[in-house]
């Protein structure tokens, strides 16, 4: 798979000089990201596109091409594959095809099925691996490859370093949404790798998970799934890979109508949702219900250590949101609110204002709306030092009289002063809305995870705990033979 993500030469069939066309956006994305390799637009009517010299056909390119991207209308697949046949007979260099166009076998029409067969005939003859059809392409933000035609609306230069998050999607539109939602966050999310697989005519979930399982730049694998034809093969792959790194899946088709829609969309046989649910639990896969939960959970896995257990202390600066958060923690079957030691209670009481509510109920402290930056930071430090606390949720509704930049810097300093081996997950719920953007940017750029509502923070906390317990159970089973 290495040449898919780090190819020596990319040819784009269907490249366009028209900014409104997908074939232009794909070229522009690689130009904007300053992809260092060779890009060959295939367009006989243009001299160049964004500085890349155009070619009339694949066989005309004299230099090496590892990856061919197909963005032209699907009706042209016959001529394009004939062209690729001629190239492979003379040069034999192409190793991967990304077929981004739709109107192939997913349509269940005779013509659509015939087009996909023609695509695969050449691919199989020359041992070329295929992503798609009916997808949006592939991204590797370390090699700077971007074959997609998605415009996130956020300049690439404003993103930070690539994360350890790799995302696979069976739906191109959903993949686009995850890409754009990530880009629109307080600090834009730059995915490590991003793969839209569409119809899975060749490369599928199992192929990619097998590769990503040992990929050193991938810390967490996220997936949008509609269905998969070989349940046993998928289960075996998921269980093995989950023992090495977390896998987070947004699996749709829970309802009968949803399953039928999935079948119509990518030709997937969705299967029984109860079976998928049971397989995911057995294999340690974290199943999520929304796009927000998907991105939140992937970021939490990428940025935080796993908790030792489910004992989650709630430190809140606001009563109402604190109660709201307490309900969310109690509803999470993997989390509990712990009793802390008497020494921790005493230190926590001494660090806060007289009206603060300490440990009523257990595992809960309301430090009140008058809490200073020092109250927040000292309180959190004391909580995390207690040996019965595995993780903490901190909720603060930043009032106008509390300097939010200083608060953010205080949390960052606390994180930096804590040795790596002693760090515990902290889910910072910094409310509310655009007003707290300054604080959240400071925190997230320093590697802290922030959330804008208590239930989002608790969902992420519960998901990390479920995975940690899966790993712990497996370790105990292995130790006992």
| 360 and 418 within one domain | yes
| 299 and 309 within one domain | no
Mean pLDDT of 88-95: 97
b/e 227-242 (16+ beta carbons within 10 angstroms → b): bbeeeeebbebbbebb
Q: Note whether residue 103 is domain-resident.
A: yes
| 282 and 319 within one domain | no
Name the domain count of the chain.
Answer: 3
| 78 and 189 within one domain | no
Q: What is the CATH number of the domain that holds 95?
A: 3.40.50.720
Whether the predicted pLDDT of 289 surpasses 60? yes
Q: What is the CATH number of the domain that holds 182?
A: 3.40.50.261
Q: Note whether residue 431 is domain-resident.
A: yes
- End position of a domain, from candidates 109, 135, 161: 135
Rounded to whole angstroms, the Cα distance separating 389 from 205 reads 37
More confident residue, 145 or 257: 145
Mean pLDDT of 134-153: 94
Domain assignment of residue 96, given as a range: 1-135
For 19, phi then psi, to 5°, come to -60, -20
CA distances (Å), origin 211, targets 79, 128, 193, 305: 32, 17, 12, 23
Question: Would you state the pLDDT for residue 261?
Answer: 62
Whether the predicted pLDDT of 477 surpasses 80? no
Question: Would you state the pLDDT for residue 153?
Answer: 84
| 339 and 192 within one domain | no
Whether the predicted pLDDT of 16 surpasses 60? yes
| 157 and 25 within one domain | no
| 462 and 380 within one domain | yes
Q: Which two tokens stand for residue 112?
A: 């659509």
Question: Would you state the pLDDT for residue 300?
Answer: 98
Residue carrying structure tokens 């999935």: 262
| 178 and 234 within one domain | yes
| 273 and 183 within one domain | yes
Q: Note whether residue 147 is domain-resident.
A: no
Q: Which residues contact 246 (CB under 8 A, 6 or more apart)?
A: 220, 221, 284, 286, 301, 467
| 182 and 289 within one domain | yes
Whether the predicted pLDDT of 226 surpasses 60? yes
Indicate the Cα dihedral angle 396, 441, 412, 344, nearest 10°: 20
Question: Would you state the pLDDT for residue 258?
Answer: 61
Q: Note whether residue 245 is domain-resident.
A: yes
Whole-angstrom Cα Rg for the chain: 25
Q: Note whether residue 10 is domain-resident.
A: yes
Q: Note whether residue 142 is domain-resident.
A: no
Query: 284: left (phi > 0), else alpha (psi -120 to 50), else beta?
Result: left
Question: Would you state the pLDDT for residue 234?
Answer: 95
Global pTM exceeds 0.85: yes
- End position of a domain, from candidates 258, 281, 303: 303
94 and 85 in contact (C-beta within 8 Å)? no
Question: Would you state the pLDDT for residue 256?
Answer: 66
- End position of a domain, from candidates 303, 318, 350: 303
Q: What is the 3-state secondary structure (H, E, C) of the chain?
A: CHHHHCCCCEEEECCCCCCCCHHHHHHHHHHHCCCCCCEEEECCCCCEECCEECECCHHHCCCCCCEEEECCCHHHHHHHHHHHHHHHHHCCCCCEEEECCCCCHHHCCHHHHHHHHHHHHHHHHCCCEEECCCCCCEEECCCCEECCCCCCCCCHHHCCCCCCEEEEECCHHHHHHHHHHHHCCCCCCCCCEEEECCCCCCCCHHHHHHHHCCCCCCCEEEEEECCCCCHHHHHHHHHHHHCCCCEEEEECCCCHHHHHHHHHHHCCCCCCHHHHHHHHHHHCCEECCCHHHHHHHHHHHHHCCCCCCCEEEEEECCHHHHHHHHHHHHHCCCCECCCCCHHHHHHHHHHCCCCCEECCCCCEEECCCCCCHHHHHHHHHHHHHCCCCCEEEEEEECCCCCCHHHHHHHHHHHHHHCCHHHCCCEEEEEECHHHHHHHHHHHHHCCCCEECCHHHHHHHHHHHHHHHHHHHHHHHHHHCC
Instruction: Please write the tens of the pLDDT for every residue from 165-195.
Output: 999 999 999 999 999 999 999 999 999 999 9
């Amino acid at each position: 798979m290495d040449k898919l993500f780090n190819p020596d030469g990319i040819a784009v069939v269907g490249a366009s000089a028209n900014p409104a066309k997908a074939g232009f956006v794909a070229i522009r994305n690689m130009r904007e990201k300053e992809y260092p390799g060779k890009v060959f637009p295939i367009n006989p009517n243009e001299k160049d596109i964004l500085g890349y010299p155009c070619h009339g056909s694949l066989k005309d390119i004299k230099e090496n091409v590892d990856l061919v991207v197909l963005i032209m209308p699907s009706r042209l697949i016959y001529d394009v594959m004939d062209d690729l046949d001629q190239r492979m007979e003379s040069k034999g260099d192409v190793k991967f095809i990304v077929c981004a166009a739709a109107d192939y076998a997913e349509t269940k029409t005779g013509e659509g099925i015939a087009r996909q067969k023609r695509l695969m005939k050449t691919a199989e003859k020359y041992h070329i691996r295929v992503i798609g059809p009916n997808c949006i392409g592939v991204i590797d933000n370390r090699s700077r490859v971007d074959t997609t035609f998605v415009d996130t609306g956020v300049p690439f230069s404003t993103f930070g370093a690539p994360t350890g998050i790799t995302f696979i999607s069976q739906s191109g539109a959903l993949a686009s949404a995850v890409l754009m939602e990530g880009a629109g966050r307080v600090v834009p999310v730059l995915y490590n790798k991003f793969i839209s697989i569409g119809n899975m005519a060749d490369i599928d979930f199992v192929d990619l998970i097998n590769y990503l399982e040992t990929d050193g730049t991938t810390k967490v694998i996220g997936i949008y799934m509609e269905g998969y034809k070989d349940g046993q093969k998928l289960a075996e792959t998921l269980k093995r890979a989950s023992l090495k790194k977390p896998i987070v899946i947004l699996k749709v088709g829970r309802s009968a109508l949803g399953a039928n829609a999935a079948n119509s969309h990518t030709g997937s046989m969705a299967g029984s949702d109860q079976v998928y649910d049971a397989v995911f639990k057995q294999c340690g896969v974290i199943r999520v219900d929304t796009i927000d939960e998907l991105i939140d959970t992937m970021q939490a896995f990428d940025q935080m250590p796993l908790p030792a257990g489910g004992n989650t202390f709630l430190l809140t600066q606001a009563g109402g949101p604190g109660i709201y958060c307490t309900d969310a923690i109690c509803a999470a079957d993997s989390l509990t609110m712990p009793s802390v030691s008497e020494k921790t209670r005493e230190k926590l009481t001494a660090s806060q204002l007289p009206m603060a509510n300490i440990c009523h109920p257990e595992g809960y402290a309301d430090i009140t709306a008058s809490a200073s930056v020092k109250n927040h930071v000292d309180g959190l430090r004391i909580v995390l030092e207690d040996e019965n606390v595995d993780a903490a949720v901190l909720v603060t509704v930043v009032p106008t009289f509390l300097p939010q930049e200083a608060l953010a810097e205080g949390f960052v300093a606390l994180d930096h002063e804590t040795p790596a081996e002693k760090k515990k997950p902290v889910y910072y719920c910094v409310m509310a809305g655009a007003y707290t953007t300054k604080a959240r940017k400071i925190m997230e750029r320093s590697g802290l995870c922030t959330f804008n509502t208590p239930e989002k923070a608790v969902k992420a906390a519960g998901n990390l705990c479920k995975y940690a317990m899966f790993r712990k159970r497996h370790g105990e089973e292995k130790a006992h033979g």
